[in-house]
Amino acid sequence: MKKIIITIDGYSSCGKSTLAKKIAKDLNYVFVDSGAMYRAVTHYFLKNHLDWTIPEQVVDAINHISLKFEYNAQNGTSDILLNGENVEAAIREMIINENVSDVAAIKEVRDFTVAEQQKNAIEKGIVMDGRDIGTVVFPNAELKIFLTASPEARVERRYKQLLAQGKQVTREEVRLNNEKRDYIDTHREISPLRKAADAIEIDNTHLTTLEQEKLVMDMVFEKLKN
Ligand code: DC
């Protein structure tokens, strides 16, 4: 059966990964969380006390970073490995949320991560979520989704997700972090977050996860028919 590339881009906390995981599972495709790669690079900088505003330190860091995804049978998804170490939990901490957009704006970092992301697509059958997947990473993807939701819904979802993970955080902190990341992600010089001209926009504020999954799966079947 024909396999396609599906991209899911959008602002922070819109539920991109949740949707991408479900679609990948339904189709038996590979799911790639590109944000996890920027988070892992940020973790590397922080852990090694490196300064990402110093170009030599950025180049040195990238030369020492290897990123891989490993299947996690417990939750049926993939965990990210940074130089062989599973950093899936560490990259979801607030300290990473606070710094990742600055790191993701650096050209050398993006050159590295985009090249890694593109390696995944040799065989197609992939669902990747992020900010520039439909515009830069896979401009020829067969199906591009641009996911949005109201700022209030996004804060509420991320807040509940962090609480469920046992994190100490307030709604206000989540709101400020979402706003800050969206601002940096849409205003950076290199591949800023944009809706691709041929992307389909879905506002999921009032959709259940099941409803949005069905909506996208209908789009997938339509693409596979043609
Ligand atoms: O999707 P996420 O929240 O895990 O992404 C973390 C950060 O990484 C996000 O604030 C911006 C950056 N990012 C990016 O610049 N390009 C991508 N394709 C994915 C994420």
> Token pair of 183, please?
């601002």
CA of 224 to the centre of ligand 1 (A): 28
Pocket test for ligand 1, best of 131, 155, 183 (most atoms within 8 A of CB): 131
Q: Dihedral, CA atoms, 124, 125, 126, 132, nearest 10 degrees?
A: 50
With a 6 Å cutoff on the Cβ, whether 144 touches ligand 1 is no
Residuewise pLDDT in 10s, the chain (226 residues): 889 999 999 999 999 999 999 999 999 999 999 999 999 999 999 999 999 999 999 999 999 999 999 988 888 889 999 999 999 999 999 999 999 999 999 999 999 999 999 998 878 899 999 999 999 999 999 999 999 999 999 999 999 999 998 999 999 999 999 999 999 999 999 999 999 999 999 999 999 999 999 999 999 999 999 8
The backbone region for 15, taken as left when phi is positive above 0, alpha when psi lies in -120 to 50, beta otherwise, is left
Task: Provide the whole-model pTM.
Answer: 0.96
**In terms of CATH, what superfamily is 5-220?**
P-loop containing nucleotide triphosphate hydrolases (3.40.50.300)
- Counting Cα atoms < 13 Å in the Cβ hemisphere of 91 gives 24
With a 6 Å cutoff on the Cβ, whether 12 touches ligand 1 is yes
The backbone region for 68, taken as left when phi is positive above 0, alpha when psi lies in -120 to 50, beta otherwise, is beta
- Domain borders along the chain are 5-220
The backbone region for 194, taken as left when phi is positive above 0, alpha when psi lies in -120 to 50, beta otherwise, is beta
Measured by CA distance, the residue closest to atom 13 of ligand 1 is 35
Pocket test for ligand 1, best of 100, 112, 135 (most atoms within 8 A of CB): 100
For residues 129 and 13, the answer to whether their CB atoms sit within 8 Å is no
